[in-house]
């Protein structure tokens, strides 16, 4: 028995109306339908006294809390891994609770089983959303920082072993800043502008800007490489990697970032593969968690809740262009 066209049209109109409201809760947009990331309250990040850190027991060290699926937290996790901070900074991972819509701590820490409870334990203002990443000092519990852009800078200055790399040397500060000005709105936020666009025109604008920025990265890597700022890894690479490592798993299939596959950017493909192979980086990449949390939690983009299978990340990132 076929469904009358008028019933189909009415159902589509009703779903469209509900979808717009659900999307408003997921990610606000301007009058033209462009996704506009909301400004979040945050606390100014701090670096504890290095001498104080040296005198502490391992369980008293500050803790960096991340979520495996969060690309912003992934940036801080990468700095932790690349600089080998495991002897001065403990790492904890929170899990996304889709039903409750919050980050859970399992096992509990400081008597808290959720990130919200931990923020409250640390005396965070009620206006501050309980988000990752967050840096917490467990002694007289307090938040040392909860904004990724600040935290990557702080962790780059964090007490480390003598061979730890400087990811933001003074002579490359201007170059790092220029990349940040291009990548943050067009790539890091750009994939969300594609996925959360309210209409075709907004999506077209976002996807055009996204791939234009990738073209610029590709061209630059062909000239300066092997890294964005030349011959050493910097915070510019750290800020781009979490977006591109999720490309085939999340952003291309779910957010519509599919104008061109990433293997059509051979320099960028090789850049991603090199960074993935750096010590400690692979441990920060969990493709199963990415798919589970994005496809499972973003109901307006995936109403069926089906979590698709995806390519094996290790094989994907280890392959050359000929085998992509």
Helix segments in 91-147, DSSP class H = 115-121
Q: Is the peptide bond before 226 cis (omega within 30 degrees of 0)?
A: yes
In a domain, 3, yes or no: no
This prediction has a pTM of 0.93
DSSP per-residue codes, 226-274:
SBTTBSS--HHHHHHHHHHHTIIIIIHHHH---SS-GGGSHHHHHHHHH
Shared-domain flag, residues 130 and 104: yes
Shared-domain flag, residues 118 and 58: yes
| Domains identified in the chain, total number | 2
- Provide the CATH number for the domain around residue 266: 1.20.1050.10
* The pLDDT value given to residue 269: 96
CB 241 within 8 A of CB 275: yes
The residue range of the domain holding 67 is 50-156
In a domain, 125, yes or no: yes
Shared-domain flag, residues 174 and 247: yes
- Mark which of 156, 187, 222 sits at the end of a domain: 156
Torsion sign across C-alpha atoms 52, 54, 59, 65: positive
Backbone angles phi and psi of 63, in degrees to 5: -120, 135
The one-digit pLDDT tens for each residue of the chain (324 residues) are 578 888 777 777 776 777 787 788 788 899 999 998 877 666 678 777 888 888 899 999 999 999 999 999 999 999 999 999 999 999 999 999 998 889 999 999 999 999 999 999 999 988 888 999 999 999 989 999 999 999 999 999 999 999 999 999 999 999 999 999 999 999 999 999 999 999 999 999 999 999 999 999 999 998 987 999 999 999 999 999 999 999 999 999 999 999 999 999 999 999 999 999 999 999 999 999 999 999 999 999 999 999 999 999 999 898 776 555
- Provide the CATH number for the domain around residue 131: 3.40.30.10
Shared-domain flag, residues 122 and 210: no
CB 288 within 8 A of CB 224: no
In a domain, 23, yes or no: no
In a domain, 300, yes or no: yes
In a domain, 75, yes or no: yes
DSSP helix/strand/coil, 81: helix
213-221 long-range CB contacts below 8 Å, 24 or more apart? 213/182, 213/183, 213/186, 213/187, 214/187, 214/265, 214/268, 215/265, 216/182, 217/183, 217/265, 217/267, 217/268, 218/265, 218/266, 218/267, 218/268, 221/267, 221/268, 221/270, 221/271
- Mark which of 156, 186, 203 sits at the end of a domain: 156
Shared-domain flag, residues 185 and 145: no
Per DSSP, what are the bridge partners of residue 135?
Answer: 64, 145
Shared-domain flag, residues 150 and 281: no
CB 202 within 8 A of CB 29: yes
Torsion sign across C-alpha atoms 99, 102, 103, 108: negative
* Residue 64: its H or E element: strand 63-67
Shared-domain flag, residues 77 and 204: no
Shared-domain flag, residues 195 and 135: no
């Amino acid at each position: 028995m076929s469904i009358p066209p008028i019933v189909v049209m009415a159902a589509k109109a009703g779903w469209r109306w509900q979808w717009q409201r659900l999307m408003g809760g997921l990610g606000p947009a301007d009058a033209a339908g462009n996704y506009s990331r909301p400004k979040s309250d945050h606390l100014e990040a701090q670096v504890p006294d290095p001498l104080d850190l040296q005198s502490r027991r391992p369980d008293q060290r500050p803790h960096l809390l991340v979520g495996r699926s969060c690309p912003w937290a992934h940036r801080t996790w990468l700095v932790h891994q690349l600089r080998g901070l495991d002897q001065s900074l403990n790492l904890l991972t929170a899990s996304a609770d889709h039903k409750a819509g919050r980050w859970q701590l399992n096992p509990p820490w400081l008597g808290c089983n959720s990130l919200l409870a931990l923020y409250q334990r640390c005396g965070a203002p009620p206006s501050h959303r309980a988000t990752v990443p967050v840096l917490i000092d467990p002694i007289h519990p307090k938040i040392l920082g909860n904004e990724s852009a600040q935290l990557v800078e702080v962790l780059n200055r964090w007490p480390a072993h003598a061979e730890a790399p400087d990811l933001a040397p003074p002579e490359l500060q201007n170059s790092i800043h220029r990349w940040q000005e291009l990548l943050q709105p067009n790539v890091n936020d750009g994939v969300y502008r594609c996925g959360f666009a309210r209409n075709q025109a907004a999506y077209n604008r976002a996807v055009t800007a996204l791939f234009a920025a990738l073209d610029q990265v590709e061209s630059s890597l062909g000239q300066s490489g092997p890294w964005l700022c030349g011959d050493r890894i910097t915070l510019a690479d750290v800020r781009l990697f979490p977006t591109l490592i999720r490309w085939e798993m999340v952003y291309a299939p779910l957010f519509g970032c599919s104008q061109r596959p990433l293997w059509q950017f051979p320099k960028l493909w090789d850049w991603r593969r090199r960074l993935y192979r750096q010590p400690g980086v692979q441990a920060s990449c969990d493709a199963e968690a990415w798919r589970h949390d994005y496809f499972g939690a973003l109901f307006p983009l995936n109403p069926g809740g089906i979590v698709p299978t995806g390519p094996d990340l290790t094989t994907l990132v280890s392959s050359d262009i000929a085998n992509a």
